[in-house]
Amino acid sequence: QEMALIPNANDEVIPSDVIRVRIGDVAMLDTMGVCSPVKEIHGFEWKVNLYNQMDRLMMHLSI
């Protein structure tokens, strides 16, 4: 299973590389810094990063 995360909340294409996440990929949680294989992908949402005012991707993963 793979998700290509391209559009942001305004349906604009982000200028950076496409982020692809697959089941079994090793992901890191920002809050804990723990690296574990991805078990499930529940979706994603965009948050505003106040420091550089760019959209920040928040993945909902089970690891």
pLDDT tens digits for 18-35? 556 677 777 665 555 566
Alpha helices for the chain (secondary structure H): none
Supply 63's token pair.
């690891």
Amino acid present at 4: A
Say if CB 1 and CB 23 are below 8 A apart.
yes
Residue 24 backbone phi and psi in degrees, to 5: 100, -15
Q: What's the pTM value of the predicted model, to 2 decimals?
A: 0.36
Domain boundaries, the chain: 2-62
Supply 12's token pair.
């604009």
Rounded mean pLDDT, 29-45: 65
